[in-house]
Structure 1
Amino acid sequence: MPASMKTVRRSLPVTAAALTALTLLAPAALAAPSPTASPSASPTATPPASMSSVGGTRLGRPGTQVDLAGGAPVLPKDLTARSWIVADAETGDVLASHNAHWRLAPASTLKMLFADTLLPKWPTTTQHKVAVSDLADVGAGSSLVGIKEEETYTVHDLWLGVFLRSGNDAVHVLSAMNGGVDRTVAEMNEHAAELQALDTTVVSPDGYDAPHQVSSAYDLTLFARSGLQKKDFREYASTVRAKFPGETAKDKKGRTSRGSFEIQNTNRLLAGDSDIGVYPGIAGVKNGNTTNAGATFTGVAERDGRVLLVTVMNPAKKEHNEVYKETARLFDWGFQAAGKVKPVGELVPPRSAVAASAEPDDSGQAGGAGGKAVMGTKPVAGAPAADGSTGVGIAAGIAAGVLVLLTGGAFLVNRRWPLPELVRRRSRP
Structure 2
Amino acid sequence: MKLFSKVLSLAVLIALPAAMASGAPSPAIRIPAPPAQLATIPVSLLVDLGSGQVLEQRHPDTPFLPASVTKVMTAYVAFEEIGAGRLSLDRQFSERPETQKEWFAKGTNMYITVKDRPTTRDLLHGIMTASANDAAIVLGEGYAGSVQGWAAKMNDAARRLGMTRSHYNTPNGWMDEGHTYVTASDLVRLADAMITRYPDLYREFSGHKHWFWRDVAMRSHDPTVGVVPGADGIKTGYTREAGYNFLGTAERGGRRLVMVLAGSPLPKVRDEAAKALLEWGFAAWDTRHLFDQGQTVLQARVQGGDARTLPLVANREVHATIPRGSHPGITLAVHYRGPIAAPIRKGDQVGELEIQVAGLAPGRVPLYAGRDVGKAGKLDRLRNGLINLFS
- The two structures have a TM-score, normalised by structure 2, of 0.65
Aligned-partner Cα distance in 2 for 1:261–1:198: 38
Which residue of the partner structure matches residue 214 of structure 1?
Answer: 181
- Which residue, out of 71, 81, 104, partners 1:111? 71
Q: Which residue matches 2:337?
A: none
Counterpart position of 1:396:
none
Distance 1:358 1:186, change over 3 A: farther
Cα separation, 2, equivalents of 1:409 and 1:281: 28
| 1:160 corresponds to | 125
Structure 1 segment 27-176 matched on structure 2, within 5 A: 70-79=29-38, 80-121=40-81, 122-138=87-103, 141-176=106-141
Mapped partners of 2:171, 2:203: distance in 1: 20
1 CA distance for matches of 2:75 and 2:191? 10
Distance verdict in 2 for CA 1:159–1:240, change over 3 Å? same
**Which whole-Å CA distance do the structure 2 matches of 1:216 and 1:163 have between them?**
20
Show CA shifts across 1:21-76 (max 9, x none).
Answer: xxxxxxxxxxxxxxxxxxxxxxxxxxxxxxxxxxxxxxxxxxxxxxx962542112
Quick one: structure 1 residues 77 and 240, their matched pair in 2 at CA, closer, same or farther if it must change by over 3 Å? closer
Deviation of 1:309 (Å): 0.3
Q: Say if 2:262 is the partner of 1:322.
A: no
Question: Could you tell me which residue of structure 1 aligns to residue 147 of structure 2?
Answer: 181
Farther off after superposition, 156-165 or 84-93: 84-93
Distance 1:119 1:294, change over 3 A: same
**Pair 266,74 (structure 1): closer, same or farther in 2 beyond 3 Å:** same
* Counterpart Cα distance in 2 of 1:208 and 1:283: 24
Asked if 1:373 corresponds to 2:320, the answer is: no
Q: Which residue of 2 aligns with 1:199?
A: 165
Please tell me whether residue 244 in structure 1 is matched to residue 213 in structure 2.
Answer: yes
Q: How many residues align?
A: 280
CA contact (8 A) 2:43 2:60 kept: yes
Note the C-alpha offset of 1:184.
Answer: 0.5
Alignment counterpart, residue 279 of structure 2, candidates 318, 323, 332? 332
Give me the whole-angstrom Cα distance separating, in 1, the residues matched to 2:152 and 2:228: 36
CA displacement, residues 307-336 of structure 1 (integer Å, 9 cap, x when unaligned)? 1001100124x3x42212111111122113
Q: What are the Cα deviations for residues 329-373 of structure 1, in whole angstroms up to 9, with x where unaligned?
A: 1112211343489xxxxxxxxxxxxxxx997564444xx21xx42
Q: Which residue of 1 aligns with 2:223?
A: 268
RMSD (CA atoms): 2.8
In the other structure, the counterpart of 2:338 is: none
> Counterpart of 1:240 in structure 2: which amino acid?
K
**Residue identity in the other structure for 1:225:** D
Correspondence for 2:249 among 278, 297, 300 = 300
**Contact 2:314/2:365 (<8 A) preserved:** no
Distance 2:136 2:366 in 1: 28
SS of the residue 1:312 aligns to: strand
Q: Is the partner of 2:89 in helix, strand or coil?
A: coil
CA–CA separation in structure 1 for the residues paired with 2:217 and 2:366:
35
Shift of 1:141: 4.3
Find the residue that maps to 1:270 and give its secondary structure: coil
Distance 2:184 2:315 in 1: 29
* Greater relative contact order structure (CA < 8 Å, 6+ sep): 1
Q: TM-score, normalised by structure 1?
A: 0.60
- C-alpha separation between the residues in 1 aligned to 2:270 and 2:111? 26
Change (3 A) 1:410 1:328: farther
Q: Percent identity?
A: 24
Cα-to-partner distance string for 1:55-112 (whole Å, 9 max, x where unaligned): xxxxxxxxxxxxx962542112231211111101233222221100111101111111
What secondary structure does 2:155 align onto? helix
Structure 1: give runs of 5+ residues left out of the alignment: 1-67, 246-259, 272-277, 342-356, 378-407, 419-429
Q: Distance in 2 between matches of 1:358 and 1:207?
A: 44
Q: Please tell me the residue identity of whatever aligns with 1:373.
A: V
Deviation string, structure 1 residues 391-410 (Cα, Å, up to 9, x no partner): xxxxxxxxxxxxxxxxx856
Q: Secondary structure, in 3 states, of the residue corresponding to 2:42?
A: strand
Structure 2 unaligned spans of 5+ = 1-26, 82-86, 289-299, 318-345, 354-363, 368-391
- Paired residues of 1:202 and 1:213 also in contact (CA < 8 A): yes
How far off its partner does 1:189 sit?
0.9
Q: Does the C-alpha gap of structure 1 residues 213 and 87 become closer, same or farther in structure 2, counting only changes over 3 Å?
A: same
Q: Counterpart amino acid of 2:88?
A: P
Shift in alpha-carbon separation, 1:374–1:294, aligned structure 2, 3 A:
closer
Aligned-partner Cα distance in 2 for 1:329–1:69: 26
State the alpha-carbon separation in 1 of the partners of residues 142 and 71 from structure 2. 16
How many angstroms apart in 1 are the aligned matches of 2:239 and 2:315? 41
DSSP 3-state at the match of 2:122: helix
Larger radius of gyration: 2
Deviation (angstroms), 1:137: 4.8
CA distance in 2, matches of 1:144, 1:287: 15
